[in-house]
Structure 1
């Protein structure tokens, strides 16, 4: 995923499915300058990781790309 798309998802009022290595995640924060994202894995708010944005993906069947 590109940083611009991650920023769009993060700032949107809509919900978009995002995955990290096949696991659903919720974007908590984006470090635009460094291309990093803090994500919550699954439904546990304490299970957060900071990863490169390019490791994030959307399911292939998404038709809308912001």
Structure 2
């Protein structure tokens, strides 16, 4: 996924489904300078992680 799309998802008023290596996640913040994003799994909201954006996949409707 690219930086532009991640930013659109973060700013979207609706929930857009995103997985990180098959795990449903919430996108909190994008770090364009190093191609990473702050995420957390939907079932472990206290487990905040900074991950490479290459592992993020947007799911269809």
TM-score of Structure 1 vs Structure 2, range by shorter chain:
0.7 to 0.9
Give, in whole Å, the separation in 1 of the partners of 2:42 and 2:13. Answer: 20
Q: TM-score, with normalisation over the residues of structure 1?
A: 0.81
Counterpart of 1:16 in structure 2 is 16
Q: Output one character per residue of 1:25-50: Cα deviation in whole Å (capped at 9) or x when no partner.
A: 00011112221101011232211111
More helix by percentage = 2
Give, in whole Å, the separation in 2 of the partners of 1:12 and 1:33. Answer: 22
Structure 1 gaps, min length 5: none
Structure 2 gaps, min length 5: none
Counterpart of 1:29 in structure 2 is 29
Q: TM-score, with normalisation over the residues of structure 2?
A: 0.87
